[in-house]
Amino acid sequence: MTIDWTTIRQDFPILHQEVHGHPLIYFDNAATSQKPRHVIEALVGYYERDNANVHRGLHELSGRATDAYEESRRKVAQYLGAGEEEIIFTRGTTEGINLVAQSWGRANIKMGDVILVTEMEHHSNLVPWQMLALQTGATLKHVPVTDEGELDLDQLDTLLTEQVKMFAFVHVSNSLGTINPAKELIARAKAVGAVTLLDGAQSAGHMPVNVRDLDCDFYAFSGHKMCAPTGIGALYARGPVLAEMPPWQGGGEMITRVQFESSFYKEGPARFEAGTPDISGAIVLGEAIDYLEALGREHIFQHDSELTAYALERMAEIEGLRIFGPRLNRGSLVAFALEGAHPHDLTTYANSFGLALRGGHHCTQPLMRKLKVPSTTRASFYFYNTREEIDRMIAILQAARTFFAP
């Protein structure tokens, strides 16, 4: 199947505008992706036709909203190769990981246990485990990152002991682009009896992901990084693990019977979806999945990889530009530093030419310390970006080199 990516670009109304007198180049896709018309119209259509609360009313609209909400759960399950009873709707990756830490974690982690993460984790996959370690007396350890920006797998044998009860790590690093060998790491964790959580924030919308094949216990992702709105995401929890998890938030819809003294909880995902959920978000996440599936994640991955390889090749032409992360086998983002330019100043400079980059620590402060930089500038791509946009970025960075020359 040959995809005409320039036609696909027409599906994204926001991309066709000028910023500061220049055509917008949106290279901040790792922070959030843009939304195709199909998704925007589905959101409007839901509010114009079907809006009602789910699982509550016995009227027509409530029935429609409930059916669409549950249909979307089936789509997420299929997208990840999971069962629909294993998919919990969340606000996004951050909430999914906090749910696991506070529900599974408080029930299973005790004093003396080890929670293992890596040095390249986003704060979302670090702070919730720090909180759990403080609550339980467990110890938090991390797998170091090599100078090439990959996990130091030689250290893993020493770190992965039988004390490790949870190994939580990022699938694709948002600061380095590294694609971690998830399947191998999960197998090694299982061999010592550890439960595994994969932070899928940067992988879910960019590559084929099958949780059964990966064999992880948990996989968390955010809809807004894969063409859906902000405020919705999902957590995959392996059936037998989910069945043993206590609720973490109490309220409506997660109970079967409530008395003053105590309550009885529902089974399955409903136990973890207290209160009115983001109904429209969940439904539209299903629409975004349809959109991505029609393109094919293997095609998206291939296109994004070619763009990234081209960006790396062209960026090598710029003197004084340091690129972070591995050369090969990386996700569709490039973080860099330009000699003499603070990342925030460089990002502001780029913005004056309509180029949206991200400058900052990208919520990976421990990694920044390892790299010995306060922050970096990052360009992150998605399937609607073009080589021509990369050429324009190169011209802007070349001009920046002169502008910021020490």
Residues touching ligand C6P, count (CB under 6 A): 17
Stretch that binds ligand C6P, among 35-43, 47-55, 134-142, 194-202 (CB under 6 A): 194-202
Interface with ligand C6P in residues 174-193 (CB under 6 A): 174
We find the least distance from the C-beta atom of residue 332 to ligand C6P, in angstroms, to be: 12
119 binds ligand C6P (CB under 6 A): no
From the candidates 214, 363, 390, 397, give the one annotated as an active-site residue. Answer: 363
Contact mark string toward ligand C6P, 345..374, x via CB under 6 A: -------------x---xx-----------
Q: Which is nearer to ligand C6P, 95 or 389 (CB)?
A: 95
Of 126 and 242, which CB lies nearer to ligand C6P in the complex structure? 126
Residues paired with residue 237 on neighbouring β-strands, in sequence order? 218
**x-or-dash pattern for ligand C6P, window 123-152, by CB under 6 A?**
-xx---------------------------
Q: Does residue 376 interact with ligand C6P by CB under 6 A?
A: no
Q: Which stretch binds ligand C6P (CB under 6 A): 108-116, 120-128, 183-191, 257-265?
A: 120-128
Stretch touching ligand C6P by CB under 6 A, among 3-11, 196-204, 324-332, 392-400:
196-204
| Residue 29 binds to ligand C6P (criterion: CB under 6 A) | no
Question: Nearest 5°: phi and psi at 202?
Answer: -100, 5
Q: Is 363 a catalytic residue?
A: yes
Nearest to 356, CA basis, from 31, 36, 9, 39: 31
Q: How far is the CB of 32 from ligand C6P (least distance, A)?
A: 8
Distance CA 331, CA 350 (A): 22
CB of 6 to ligand C6P, least distance (A): 26
Q: Which is nearer to ligand C6P, 14 or 258 (CB)?
A: 14
Question: Which one among 122, 142, 206, 303 touches ligand C6P, defined by CB under 6 A?
Answer: 122
Q: Which is nearer to ligand C6P, 90 or 280 (CB)?
A: 90
Instruction: For residue 30, state whether it binds ligand C6P (rule: CB under 6 A).
Output: yes
Name the phi and psi angles at 75, rounded to 5.
Answer: -65, -45
List residues with catalytic annotation: 363
Q: Which residues bind ligand C6P (CB under 6 A)?
A: 30-31, 92-94, 122, 124-125, 170, 174, 199, 201-202, 222, 358, 362-363
